[in-house]
Amino acid sequence: MVVGAFPMAKLLYLGIRQVSKPLANRIKEAARRSEFFKTYICLPPAQLYHWVEMRTKMRIMGFRGTVIKPLNEEAAAELGAELLGEATIFIVGGSCLVLEYWRHQAQQRRKEEEQRAAWDAMRDEVGHLALALEALQEQVQAAPPQGALEELQAQMREVRTQLRAQDPPSTSRAASTSKE
């Protein structure tokens, strides 16, 4: 699944880059035409980028303490416009990532709330079932136990057999008194 997601992310990034390219090109053109934009927006980052890049290259090659000449105004304006265009593309892509992250977090929160609600509903249902079980157990305990019922039936049988055993002599007495 991850392998399938990577090309999709790359394709999405490419799509965002292609969509933001016209915007970056418009900004570059505005930077080339406007003197204010060129002087205050494009030139300072371009000169800083050039200085850092050249200083790094000189240190890698072993030249320390060499003076780095600033770019001419035309080259700095072009480099600044390019940097601004790339920054625009980066900001658009980063904004897409942030928005996707927020959407994912909101979806995750909603899922957790649904799970919590389902969990609470199950807990309430278990509570109701526990109360119903207690009521049924009380009813069962209030009824005479099965063994007591059988014991009562056995005692009733004994009493009946005793009554029958006593009854035949009394019936013979009754028969003799009626003959007299």
Q: Which domain holds residue 70?
A: 9-142
Residues 44 and 79: beta-carbon distance below 8 Å: no
User: pLDDT digit string (tens) for 18-41?
Assistant: 777 787 788 778 777 888 888 888
pLDDT at 54 (0 to 100): 92
For 25, other C-beta atoms within 10 Å of its C-beta total 13
Cα 77 to Cα 68: distance, rounded to the nearest angstrom: 18
pLDDT value at position 111?
96
Average of pLDDT values for 79-103?
84
Asked whether residue 161 is assigned to any structural domain, the reply reads no
- Give yes or no for residue 104 having a pLDDT over 50: yes
Residue 163 within a domain: no
Q: d(Cα 142, Cα 153) in Å, to the nearest integer?
A: 19
Over residues 107-116, the mean pLDDT reads 96
The answer to whether residue 148 is domain-embedded is no
The predicted pLDDT at position 180 comes to 47
Domain annotation covers residue 38: yes
Q: Is residue 166 in some structural domain?
A: no
Is 177 within the bounds of a domain? no
The yes-or-no verdict on residue 9 having pLDDT over 70 is no
User: Taking the chain, what is the end-to-end CA distance rounded to the nearest angstrom?
Assistant: 111
How much is the pTM? 0.54
Q: Which residue has the higher pLDDT, 35 or 13?
A: 35
In a domain, 35, yes or no: yes
If one counts the domains in the chain, the total is 1
Residue 105 CB partners (closer than 8 Å, separation 6+): none
> What was the pLDDT predicted at 105?
92
Whether the pLDDT of residue 58 is over 70: the answer is: yes
Q: What is the mean pLDDT of the chain?
A: 82
3-state SS, the chain, equals CHHHHHHHHHHHHHHHHHHHHHHHHHHHHHHHHCHHHHHHHHHHHHHHHHHHHHHHHHHHHCCCCCCCCCCCHHHHHHHHHHHHHHHHHHHHHHHHHHHHHHHHHHHHHHHHHHHHHHHHHHHHHHHHHHHHHHHHHHHHHHCCCHHHHHHHHHHHHHHHHHHHHHHHHHHHHHHHHHHC
Residues in the chain: 180
pLDDT exceeds cutoff 90 at 117: yes
In this structure, is residue 63 part of a structural domain? yes
Quick: pLDDT tens for 133-173: 999 988 878 876 667 778 888 888 998 888 888 765 555 55
